[in-house]
Chains A and B, each alone.
Chain A
Amino acid sequence: MRVAEKPISILVADDDPDDRLLIAEALVDTDIAEGIDFVEDGVELLAYLRRQEKFAPLKGRALPALILLDLNMPRKDGREVLDELKSDPVLRRIPVVVLTTSNAEEDIQRTYDLGVSSFIVKPVSFETLVSTMRTVTRYWFDTVSLPEQ
């Protein structure tokens, strides 16, 4: 059950189109079909959040309530993005969940150091991905309270 007043807005940053498709399908299976935007790398992510360049028309729209961040991306990878986000006085409030294929200990430690909210290794099977997405959305949109924008 979802709280109606709380609009779902998720930004997914992943360079892999397959993953973007799978995540999108998994979110659909989780009954979340709207309020999801995708960017393909760190540069696009920051441009999106700052409503710059091709994302300028989005000015006035609310920022996403949750960011699903892949670590290994071209141009600007997840770690750099995370570092910039957490240095930004406004953007730092947006919870970031790392969703990556890496399960390296150093990546886990590093990203938590940088202030990530959760670290999730991409599930192998689609069913697991669906259940993981369900858990994440339930948690962030039904369970916890997020700061008002």
Chain B
Amino acid sequence: MTGKKPPSRLLPRVLLRVLPVTGLVLLVVLLVASSVAKKTIRGELQQRLDREAAQVATAVSLRIQALVEAADSLAANDLVVNSLVDFEARLNYIPTLFQSIRMPGPAGAKVTLTDYRGRTVTSNSAAATYEDAPWLSDVMKGGRLALISREGLLIARPVVYSGRPEGAVVVEHHRDNLAQLLDVPVQVAAFAITTVDHDLVFSSADTFHKRDAVERGEGHDHWVVATTSMPRFPHLQLEVGELEDEAFAAFHRLGYAMTASAVVAVVAVALSIVATALSTTKPLVRFVDGIGRVAKAGNLHYRMEPFGSAEFHALASSFNGMLDTIDRTTTSRDYVDSVLNSIQEVLVVSGPGGDIRTCNRATIETLGYTLDELQGRPIGSLVACRKSDVQPPEPAPESSRRTTCRPASCNLGCIDLDGRSSVEGRLRRKDGGEISIQISTSRLTFGESADQGLIFVLTDITDRKQAEQLLEQRAQELARSNAELEQFASVASHDLQEPLRKVQAFGDRLRNKYADRLDQQGLDYLSRMQNATGRMQSLIQDLLAFSRVSTRGQPFVGVDLGQVAREVVFDLEVPVQETVARIEIDDLPTIDADPLQIRQLFQNLIGNALKYHREGVAPVVHVTAETQRNGHPALNGAAAEFCRICVADNGIGFEAEYAERIFGMFQRLHGRDAYEGTGVGLAICRKIAERHGGTIEADGRPGDGATIIVTLPFEQFVQERT
């Protein structure tokens, strides 16, 4: 295997591996079978030819023997014998006999009777003389001759009289008749008779005896030949032959058939392989498709249809079982994706190094990047965070700190990667715009590894920031407006006091110098005018006192509330004695406060308790304190200890509906002739309480006393700006 070459498909691989082997095996089998068959056929043929040769030889011999015996019986015929010695007979009968004689075999045989010198006695044909025949003497000695040659067949038999050969009967068949003569039934294509020297005597087929020439390459017939000796003709031999083409015709047909079968077999094997491969790969392809749906698309609800062989059924069943388990025990990617995409905030998952892995739809919509563009990007290239207005993180224990993951690419040094953190920052969009965001980071941990990456949740806080800015602006405006109001109140009070003082002074002058010149009504007008100026002065002084709560506040120091309360009671000695009041002061704690203002607070509250006593009932004022935990404004609402001070009396009380109103500026519940005062005292108390980060409230019922509850923090964490 070299490199990353893609793996080849199953079907071509199987075909390439199986088909050549199958073909080769079939070829070898064919070759061996054909060789063996050829050998066998040839052997059988040879044996048959051998047998045939023997039979043909016998048949030919018998045929010749019959001719010989016919010649023998003619030579032994009495008439023929006697004719040799009886001239009469020789002249009268014998020629006739020979003229009419019909020898076995084909017609046309030349039959001749000779004397002992070979002279023709008679013959059925002319010109037959055997006087110089080489064989005559042999026959005259009693030998019997049967001679087959190219010239034909010649049979010579001695005619014996009184034990002495006196002549001979010669039967001669012309060579043209040999074919007819030797026409024996044979089971072979051809046969031939030759001499032992291979001189051809007879051949039943032209091509057969020319085969030597054929073998020399001049013809085109191949012969299979068997040779045997001829009985009674030792100088002759018989050859039988079959045409090789004919003998192997069946074999060749068989060969074609086998070759065709082999081809068919190879094709069949190929087809079977294709079929098998397809039946194997088709389920596999479906499996791959199914696994792909689960693995890539994350569709855990997919179930595979059972199909194919039993093994695939089992596989599909196992696969579905596995999906059931996974589906039951895990949440699918679809589920996670839909959850993530439903989140309105920008949510980014990065690797431990800050490289973005994935994000939700809101990220893509907010940033304008595609997911592909975001993946792999360092988060630091999108997010910049400010190190500000972050609550100081509680120092983490040394053991929990990790030294890993501080890569430069993260570029978010302000984020505490050791755990959850939350800071404000800015997010850069693709179009260059920036958004104010809240960055919440947490470490992604699951499975074996503790450091799987980071999750960033980026909340768009543009609106919040704008609102904060607006709020800050409003707060500043309000502070400035308040300061101006206080300034105004202060300045106005001074400047208002000035003419008022004149009115009073000249009123005094008028009364002192000219009282005797005014009548009763004039004096009454004068005193009303002076009363009015007195009230006006009270109002102005109270207004000034109210404005000074914030403008002339002193720094917070430890103040012993009990001591201040007792000093106030001492100052109020005159009204206490006038009303025969009893003032009970419990143990009061020491708190951070402005001592003068606390003094004013107690003065106003205890003074009110004395002032609003019931007619004929000695006032009883009870000052108590208890500790409770409230949200402290200086700690962004974090809980702190507060001192709850109650000043309760048994005076005239008030309607519950006025519980809030009595703290307003110049708010009074009674007529001036009933109770003197400007209605500023409780407003000052409220302002003092609020300056200390505390609250004030009132509780009371008509005729059943009133309780003013002041709640002040024990500790002042920030000194007020002065």
Given contacts A22-B505, A101-B501, is CB(A124)–CB(B494) below 8 Å? no
> Which of A101, A102, A125 interacts with B508 by CB under 8 Å?
A125
Chain B residues with Cβ below 8 Å from A18 are 502, 505-506
> Which of B494, B505, B552 interacts with A126 by CB under 8 Å?
B505
User: For this complex, into which size category does the number of interface residues on chain B fall?
Assistant: 10 to 19
B512: interface (CB < 8 Å): yes
- Proximity string of chain A (112-149) to chain B, C-beta cutoff 8 Å, 1 when within and 0 when not: 00000000001011110100000000000000000000
> Which of A102, A105, A122, A127 interacts with B501 by CB under 8 Å?
A122
Chain B residues with Cβ below 8 Å from A40 are none
Chain A residues with Cβ below 8 Å from B494 are 101-102
> Which of B498, B509, B537 interacts with A101 by CB under 8 Å?
B498
- Proximity string of chain B (9-44) to chain A, C-beta cutoff 8 Å, 1 when within and 0 when not: 000000000000000000000000000000000000
Chain A residues with Cβ below 8 Å from B508 are 125-127
Query: Nearest CB to that of A19 among chain B residues?
Result: B502
Tell me which residues from 651 to 683 in chain B have a Cβ below 8 Å from any Cβ of chain A: none
Chain B residues with Cβ below 8 Å from A83 are none
Cβ–Cβ contact A124 & B509, under 8 A: no
Chain B residues with Cβ below 8 Å from A77 are none
Query: Nearest CB to that of A105 among chain B residues?
Result: B552
B590: interface (CB < 8 Å): no
Cβ–Cβ contact B498 & A125, under 8 A: no
| Alpha-carbon distance between A126 and B514 when the two chains are bound, in angstroms | 14
B61: interface (CB < 8 Å): no
- Proximity string of chain B (455-494) to chain A, C-beta cutoff 8 Å, 1 when within and 0 when not: 0000000000000000000000000000000000000001
Query: Nearest CB to that of B511 among chain A residues?
Result: A126
Quote the shortest CB–CB distance from B599 to chain A (angstroms): 16
Quote the shortest CB–CB distance from B491 to chain A (angstroms): 11
Chain B residues with Cβ below 8 Å from A125 are 504-505, 508
B332: interface (CB < 8 Å): no
Cβ–Cβ contact B498 & A124, under 8 A: no
Chain A residues with Cβ below 8 Å from B552 are 105
Cβ–Cβ contact B504 & A25, under 8 A: no
Most buried by B among A19, A101, A122, A124: A124
Query: Nearest CB to that of B510 among chain A residues?
Result: A126
B497: interface (CB < 8 Å): yes
Cβ–Cβ contact A25 & B497, under 8 A: no
Quote the shortest CB–CB distance from A129 to chain B (angstroms): 7
Cβ–Cβ contact B512 & A126, under 8 A: yes
Query: Nearest CB to that of A25 among chain B residues?
Result: B509
Chain B residues with Cβ below 8 Å from A102 are 494
Most buried by A among B506, B509, B537: B509
Chain A residues with Cβ below 8 Å from B502 are 18-19, 22
- Proximity string of chain B (326-369) to chain A, C-beta cutoff 8 Å, 1 when within and 0 when not: 00000000000000000000000000000000000000000000
Chain B residues with Cβ below 8 Å from A16 are 498
Cβ–Cβ contact A101 & B497, under 8 A: yes
Chain A residues with Cβ below 8 Å from B501 are 101, 122, 124
Query: Nearest CB to that of B534 among chain A residues?
Result: A124
| Alpha-carbon distance between A129 and B504 when the two chains are bound, in angstroms | 12
| Alpha-carbon distance between A101 and B494 when the two chains are bound, in angstroms | 8
Query: Nearest CB to that of B508 among chain A residues?
Result: A126
| Alpha-carbon distance between A102 and B544 when the two chains are bound, in angstroms | 12
Cβ–Cβ contact B537 & A126, under 8 A: no
| Alpha-carbon distance between A102 and B498 when the two chains are bound, in angstroms | 10
| Alpha-carbon distance between A25 and B506 when the two chains are bound, in angstroms | 11
Quote the shortest CB–CB distance from B504 to chain A (angstroms): 5
Cβ–Cβ contact B498 & A126, under 8 A: no
Quote the shortest CB–CB distance from B538 to chain A (angstroms): 11
Query: Nearest CB to that of A101 among chain B residues?
Result: B498
Quote the shortest CB–CB distance from A128 to chain B (angstroms): 9
Chain B residues with Cβ below 8 Å from A101 are 494, 497-498, 501
Chain B residues with Cβ below 8 Å from A126 are 504-506, 508-509, 512
Most buried by B among A16, A25, A125, A126: A126
Quote the shortest CB–CB distance from B480 to chain A (angstroms): 22
Chain B residues with Cβ below 8 Å from A129 are 505
Quote the shortest CB–CB distance from A130 to chain B (angstroms): 9
Tell me which residues from 1 to 41 in chain A have a Cβ below 8 Å from any Cβ of chain B: 16, 18-19, 22, 25
Chain B residues with Cβ below 8 Å from A105 are 552
| Alpha-carbon distance between A25 and B502 when the two chains are bound, in angstroms | 13
Cβ–Cβ contact B512 & A124, under 8 A: no
Chain A residues with Cβ below 8 Å from B505 are 18, 22, 124-126, 129
Quote the shortest CB–CB distance from B473 to chain A (angstroms): 32
Quote the shortest CB–CB distance from A76 to chain B (angstroms): 20
Chain A residues with Cβ below 8 Å from B506 are 18, 22, 126
| Alpha-carbon distance between A22 and B505 when the two chains are bound, in angstroms | 8
Chain A residues with Cβ below 8 Å from B497 are 101
Quote the shortest CB–CB distance from B37 to chain A (angstroms): 141
| Alpha-carbon distance between A45 and B593 when the two chains are bound, in angstroms | 45
Query: Nearest CB to that of B500 among chain A residues?
Result: A124
| Alpha-carbon distance between A22 and B498 when the two chains are bound, in angstroms | 13
Chain A residues with Cβ below 8 Å from B498 are 16, 101
Quote the shortest CB–CB distance from A93 to chain B (angstroms): 32
| Alpha-carbon distance between A71 and B487 when the two chains are bound, in angstroms | 19
Chain A residues with Cβ below 8 Å from B509 are 22, 25, 126
| Alpha-carbon distance between A105 and B537 when the two chains are bound, in angstroms | 20
Most buried by A among B498, B501, B512: B501
Chain A residues with Cβ below 8 Å from B512 are 126-127
Quote the shortest CB–CB distance from A79 to chain B (angstroms): 16
| Alpha-carbon distance between A126 and B503 when the two chains are bound, in angstroms | 10
| Alpha-carbon distance between A124 and B508 when the two chains are bound, in angstroms | 10
| Alpha-carbon distance between A102 and B552 when the two chains are bound, in angstroms | 15
Quote the shortest CB–CB distance from B156 to chain A (angstroms): 191
| Alpha-carbon distance between A101 and B505 when the two chains are bound, in angstroms | 13
- Proximity string of chain B (98-126) to chain A, C-beta cutoff 8 Å, 1 when within and 0 when not: 00000000000000000000000000000
Quote the shortest CB–CB distance from B638 to chain A (angstroms): 36
Query: Nearest CB to that of B505 among chain A residues?
Result: A126
Query: Nearest CB to that of A127 among chain B residues?
Result: B508
| Alpha-carbon distance between A124 and B536 when the two chains are bound, in angstroms | 12
| Alpha-carbon distance between A127 and B504 when the two chains are bound, in angstroms | 11
Most buried by A among B494, B505, B508, B537: B505
| Alpha-carbon distance between A124 and B504 when the two chains are bound, in angstroms | 7
Quote the shortest CB–CB distance from B551 to chain A (angstroms): 11
Quote the shortest CB–CB distance from B600 to chain A (angstroms): 15
| Alpha-carbon distance between A101 and B509 when the two chains are bound, in angstroms | 19
Query: Nearest CB to that of B544 among chain A residues?
Result: A103
| Alpha-carbon distance between A105 and B554 when the two chains are bound, in angstroms | 12
| Alpha-carbon distance between A132 and B504 when the two chains are bound, in angstroms | 16
| Alpha-carbon distance between A124 and B534 when the two chains are bound, in angstroms | 10
Quote the shortest CB–CB distance from A131 to chain B (angstroms): 12
Chain A residues with Cβ below 8 Å from B537 are 124
| Alpha-carbon distance between A101 and B493 when the two chains are bound, in angstroms | 11
| Alpha-carbon distance between A129 and B501 when the two chains are bound, in angstroms | 11
Query: Nearest CB to that of B501 among chain A residues?
Result: A124
24 intermolecular pairs with C-beta atoms under 8 Å apart: A16-B498, A18-B502, A18-B505, A18-B506, A19-B502, A22-B505, A22-B506, A22-B509, A25-B509, A101-B497, A101-B501, A102-B494, A105-B552, A122-B501, A124-B501, A124-B504, A124-B505, A125-B504, A126-B505, A126-B508, A126-B509, A126-B512, A127-B508, A127-B512
**New A-B pairs, 9, CB < 8 Å, besides A18-B506, A124-B537:** A19-B502, A22-B502, A22-B506, A101-B501, A125-B504, A125-B508, A126-B509, A127-B508, A127-B512
User: A residues bordering B, Cβ < 8 Å?
Assistant: 16, 18-19, 22, 25, 101-102, 105, 122, 124-127, 129
Query: Which 3 residue pairs across A and B have the least CB separation, nearest first?
Result: A126-B508, A126-B505, A18-B502
